[in-house]
Amino acid sequence: MKTSPTQQHLADALTVLKKLQDDGKSVIKSTELKRIQLSSLVKNGFLRQILKGWYMPSRPDEQMGDSTPWFAAMREFIAGYCTERFGDNWHVSPDLSLSLHAGSTLLPKQVTVHSPLAKNGTLSLPNGCSLFDYKAVESMTADKVTMVGTLRVLMPETALIKAPPSFYRNHARDAQIVLSGVRDVSTLLRELLEGGHSTIAGRLAGALRAVGRAEHADQILATMRSGGYMVTESNPFEELLPMNLLTHSESRHALRIRLMWHEMRQPVLELFPQEPGIPENIDLFMSRIEEQYQLDAYHSLSIEGYRVSDELISRVSRGDWNPENTREDSESRNAMAARGYWLAHNEVMATIRRIFSGANPGTAFRSDHAAWHRSLFSPSVDAGILSAVDLAGYRNAQVYIRNAAHVPPSKEAVREMMPELCDLLEAESSSAVRGVLGHFIFVYIHPYMDGNGRIGRFLMNAMLASGGFSWTIIPVDRRKEYMEALDAASFGGDIRPFAAFVRSCRVE
């Protein structure tokens, strides 16, 4: 089939876009492409405009209003745009700096950046987001600024001094994580003394004591008072903190999900009925699960940021690509997914039987979930759609969840968070909590490149079954409600909508 000039232009443009993406770019400037390449990529849905001169990769089959490309590009855009305007003379706000140091993967709808070159202006961005540039009085010296990912942030000590009191109320979890990681207060004390920050010193002393750092609190009080300052200690947190949770982990990522579990556990217990207990007739219980199998198939939640492949470029060059005619590819993928789901389902059934035979549910998940994932995708490997290396463990790249503000943590964080999740499952006495929080935190971590939603629901059902709860099916027509409930827990920290949603989906 002869390639038309239009198709050849698109193939050439895709080749350039692929190279930019292979170089790590998730935001494309118009100056990086020829005009005809930019026009072709935008026309065919491979690029979407952020604002004049700035673009983000997208998928040709995306629906209007799909927020996934934006949340995949947001951090890199903010970094690139601010660097273009302010050079190295900018950083995000103190409270956002602390949240990012605490391992938060969320950005607020309005991101505030500080710079002496700013003009106190607001820039509207996609999906209801905005960027506010705050005109700072002075520049921050290089030793007070560092990088978290692509974003310039204040060092933790500087951010703790500059953060408002409301940070400890509105972002208590992030404050606890940062404070619990303080190993020495010399830098804090230097800045407190240089600035004469007696009120802030009292607040930091109270906050450090609240997270079990009494020696640091005493050191701040004694040093400030010896310097002639009147300091009154005050605890900025509204509630007593779970001291035992803050003292036995060197990982901020593990600590984050431990605190989430602690905060969310009680609401789940309040919303779920008492567990029935292990069934007397296990074979009957398992047969009823099998009866529900056909209704239980559901598409994955996970979505990888759209990337140009060599195969796509080749198909466009040959004239074989048509964005409106993907039925054959779709049917092939669906067939592999259906076969993989059946194989993984059988692995999960074996895990549940082990639990009924006395295995700790969390321990069973720890040992078995890799086999669930391998089974889910082994037909695609056998068919040559995926490489065997794709089944070699947790992901080695960033992933994104369709239309979710939550961006899953880094690949490095995954390897700290998954053992912690297994520890939490092993220690939890309530099967309802294991099921609801196990599912939520698993998809929050998103440890695999694909299949996270399916594995998350298998985890939920295995943990619920461990307490005798019947199989829970998430209906396709309630997907929007499902995603919104998960997002409320990820973005707003409220697990109640998700716990209530799961309870409403249970099959009696």
Residue ranges of domains in the chain = 5-62, 252-505
pLDDT tens-digit series, residues 186-242: 999 999 999 999 999 999 999 999 998 999 999 999 999 999 999 999 999 988 767
Residues 7/317, Cβ–Cβ less than 8 Å: yes
Return the DSSP state at 98. Answer: H
Beta strand 28-29 with 54-57 is: antiparallel
Catalytic entry in 114, 216, 253, 446: 446
Task: Report the alpha-carbon distance of residue 394 to residue 139 in Å, rounded.
Answer: 41
* Per-residue confidence band for 392, with pLDDT thresholds at 50, 70 and 90: confident
pLDDT tens-digit series, residues 331-360: 556 666 777 888 999 999 999 999 999 999
Residues 307/454, Cβ–Cβ less than 8 Å: no
Each as own residue / partner, the long-range contacts of residues 73-78 (CB below 8 Å, 24 or more positions apart, any chain) are 73/26, 73/27, 74/107, 74/125, 74/129, 75/107, 75/149, 75/150, 75/151, 75/407, 76/25, 76/26, 76/27, 76/150, 77/27, 77/50, 77/125, 78/107, 78/111, 78/113, 78/131, 78/150, 78/151
456 is in an annotated binding site: yes
Length of the chain: 508
pLDDT reading at 259 higher than 60: yes
Q: What is the mean pLDDT of the segment spanning 270-278?
A: 93
User: In this predicted structure, what is the pLDDT of residue 97?
Assistant: 98
492 is in an annotated binding site: no
pLDDT tens-digit series, residues 446-497: 999 988 988 999 999 999 999 999 999 888 778 889 889 999 999 889 999 9
pLDDT tens-digit series, residues 378-390: 887 877 767 788 7
What is the pTM (predicted TM-score) of this model? Answer: 0.86
390 is in an annotated binding site: no
Is 446 a catalytic site residue?
yes
Q: Which fold has domain 252-505?
A: Fic-like fold (1.10.3290)
* Per-residue confidence band for 307, with pLDDT thresholds at 50, 70 and 90: very low
Each as own residue / partner, the long-range contacts of residues 211-220 (CB below 8 Å, 24 or more positions apart, any chain) are 211/176, 211/179, 211/180, 211/241, 211/243, 211/246, 212/180, 212/243, 212/246, 212/247, 213/179, 213/180, 213/182, 216/182, 216/185, 219/185, 219/189, 220/185, 220/188, 220/189, 220/192
Q: What is the mean pLDDT of the segment spanning 296-306?
A: 40
Q: What is the mean pLDDT of the segment spanning 20-41?
A: 94
User: In this predicted structure, what is the pLDDT of residue 112?
Assistant: 98
452 is in an annotated binding site: yes
From 140, 147, 150, select the one nearest 80 (Cα to Cα).
Answer: 150
pLDDT tens-digit series, residues 55-86: 999 988 777 778 888 998 999 999 999 999 99
Residue 488, number of CB atoms within 10 A of its CB: 16
